């Protein structure tokens, strides 16, 4: 993979100017904005202003990631939100995997967030559980990205620093406490066949979100990185519907939960 000033080619942040409604898209652990580029471009074509930042330590090398804390990742999201909010009257945040975890913390902090869209949000990653008891390793090998479509290539790291695993474990331990404090509307996607994050994570989030304005969508033909998988178009369609519904009917007295398979 080629690099430009330390960033892997294709892994750069991207920004598309559009309407007064902004969409912030947050990628997952060891991923890059490339994993959400298709949905970002699609939202831009629908007229939204779109920003997908590259999280600290991602898209460069594992040694950069090794130096980062989960606070650094959260700061990447907060700064991106502030940039987008300066330009847009309303901002929605979409988070894939760890990006969804960070979105929970963002929504807890910024009550004016117009809505959140969570895609296979990580509250637990069972494959990392054995590392909680300590290890002498500094790095571990990472498997291929969990994508059902064999034609898709995701830019990720093939090895992961143990320090980074520790940080995402801290983040996942912290995030559940934020759910009860989130006031904005929410759309939750879960892949039934997810080999990284159990779909029960999304069930818990949906159950514990206090808002009555929450929607759940089930993905039957996508694995964990659903933003790059067979149902990526459905994610765009359902998210667009969710946002437009909020824009049109947010003050309607009949707002309620919606679960659709």
Please give the annotated binding residues for substrate, written as ranges.
Answer: 29, 98
**Residue count of the chain:** 261
Q: Comparing C-alpha atoms, which of 169, 201, 182, 173 is closest to residue 105?
A: 182
Alpha-carbon distance 48 to 94, whole Å? 13
Q: Mind telling me the catalytic residues?
A: 97, 194, 224
Alpha-carbon distance 163 to 14, whole Å? 28
Confirm if 70 and 170 have CB atoms less than 8 A apart: yes
Backbone angles phi, psi at 204, to 5 degrees: -65, -45
Alpha-carbon distance 89 to 21, whole Å? 6
Strands 115-119 and 3-4, bridge-based pairing: unpaired
Q: How far is CA 128 from CA 49, 104, 160, in A?
A: 36, 21, 11
Alpha-carbon distance 69 to 55, whole Å? 11
């Amino acid at each position: 993979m080629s690099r430009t000033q330390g960033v892997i080619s294709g892994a750069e942040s991207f920004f598309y100017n559009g309407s007064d409604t902004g969409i912030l898209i947050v990628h997952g652990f060891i991923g890059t904005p490339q994993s959400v580029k298709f949905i970002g471009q699609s939202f831009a074509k629908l007229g939204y202003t779109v920003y997908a930042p590259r999280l600290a330590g991602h898209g460069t090398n594992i040694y950069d990631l090794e130096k980062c804390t989960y606070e650094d990742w959260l700061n990447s999201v907060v700064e991106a939100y502030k940039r987008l909010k300066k330009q847009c009257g309303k901002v929605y945040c979409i988070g894939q995997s760890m990006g969804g975890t960070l979105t929970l913390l963002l929504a807890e902090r910024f009550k004016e967030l117009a809505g959140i869209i969570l895609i296979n949000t990580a509250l637990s990653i069972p494959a990392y559980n054995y590392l909680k008891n300590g290890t002498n390793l500094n790095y571990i090998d990472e498997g291929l990205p969990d994508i059902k479509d064999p034609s898709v290539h995701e830019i990720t790291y093939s090895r992961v620093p143990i320090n980074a695993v520790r940080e995402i474990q801290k983040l996942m331990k912290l995030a559940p406490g934020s759910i009860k404090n989130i006031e904005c509307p929410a759309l939750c996607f879960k892949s039934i066949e997810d080999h990284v994050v159990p779909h029960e994570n999304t069930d818990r989030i949906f159950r514990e979100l206090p808002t009555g304005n929450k929607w759940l969508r089930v993905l039957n033909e996508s694995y964990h990185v659903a933003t790059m998988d067979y149902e990526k178009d459905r994610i765009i369609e359902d998210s667009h519907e969710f946002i437009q519904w909020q824009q049109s009917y947010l003050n309607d007295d009949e707002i309620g939960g919606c679960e659709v398979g």
